[in-house]
Amino acid sequence: MSAKIPLLLILSILSIFRILSILPMAKIIYKDEDGTSTEIIVDPEKSVLEMLEEAGIDYPFSCMAGACSTCKITVHKGKEDLKDDAFGTPMYPVDDNEVLSCICGVNKAFAENPDAVIELEKTEE
């Protein structure tokens, strides 16, 4: 019997636990302009904007290419855990505490840390 089968079984069980939110995972806390907080489970394969959308947050965007700044978002905590060029090259300048959510992702090490938290808030215009 191949050694791959037990490994696949273990990975499948871990995936089920993650889907059921049994295992703690890194999270993003998004605070809307009205003060509502939403906790978002991190997916390192998706941009911050995609994670926001999947959580039901209607965040503004336009170009989806890092060129317009419509999607910029303020980072209150965890900027070091974000990768601002994960899904493209930022072409629009933003402040030090902001990222372009359409092309920004999270670092893999962050996603695997169950105690890790990034705090985001809609950027004031």
Nearer to ligand FES, 25 or 67 (CB): 67
* Positions 57 through 116 that interact with ligand FES (CB under 6 A): 61-64, 66-71, 92, 100, 102
Nearest distance, CB of residue 111 and ligand FES, angstroms: 21
Query: Which runs of E-coded beta strand occur in the chain?
Result: 27-31, 37-41, 72-77, 82-83, 98-100, 105-106, 117-122
Residues touching ligand FES, count (CB under 6 A): 13
Question: What span, in angstroms and rounded, lies between the C-alpha atoms of 59 and 32?
Answer: 10
User: What three-state secondary structure class fits 5?
Assistant: helix
Instruction: Return residues touching ligand FES (CB under 6 A).
Output: 61-64, 66-71, 92, 100, 102
